[in-house]
């Protein structure tokens, strides 16, 4: 768990036993302290491929503005989820994107 966008970028750039950590899934809040979700996506897109891996990014928000969803997808988010993020929704996403685990 990272508490803001910069911490998440630092984590992705770090190495663990010589390899960059590559989570399978990131839930990214649009409104974060220091670096918002769109700023994170822009910085994430600039990372070298070996630091990104195949990571799915879902934006979380309370926004009802369709432009926010379009902006998120344009910046490379795989999905746009309105809060609250429920356990049932996490399972639904996992079944859709990681069916081999079910």
* Mean pLDDT of the chain, nearest integer: 90
Helix 66-74 and helix 37-45, axial crossing angle in degrees, nearest 10: 20
Distance CA 100, CA 94 (A): 10
Taking residues 57-79, report their average pLDDT: 91
Residues constituting the chain: 102
Quick one: which of 18, 22, 20, 26 has its CA closest to 1? 26
Supply φ then ψ for residue 58, to 5 degrees. -120, 125
Taking residues 17-34, report their average pLDDT: 88
Write down the pLDDT at residue 50: 82
Q: What is the pTM of this model?
A: 0.84
Report residue 32 as tokens: 């974060």
């Amino acid at each position: 768990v990272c508490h803001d966008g910069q911490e998440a970028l630092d984590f992705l750039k770090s190495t663990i036993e010589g390899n960059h950590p590559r989570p399978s899934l990131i839930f990214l809040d649009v409104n974060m302290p220091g670096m918002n979700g769109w700023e994170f996506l822009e910085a994430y897109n600039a990372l070298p491929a070996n630091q990104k891996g195949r990571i799915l990014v879902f934006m979380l928000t309370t926004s009802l503005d369709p432009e926010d969803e379009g902006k998120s997808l344009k910046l490379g988010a795989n999905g746009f989820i309105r809060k609250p993020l429920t356990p049932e929704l996490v399972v639904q996403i996992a079944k859709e994107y990681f069916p081999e685990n079910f």
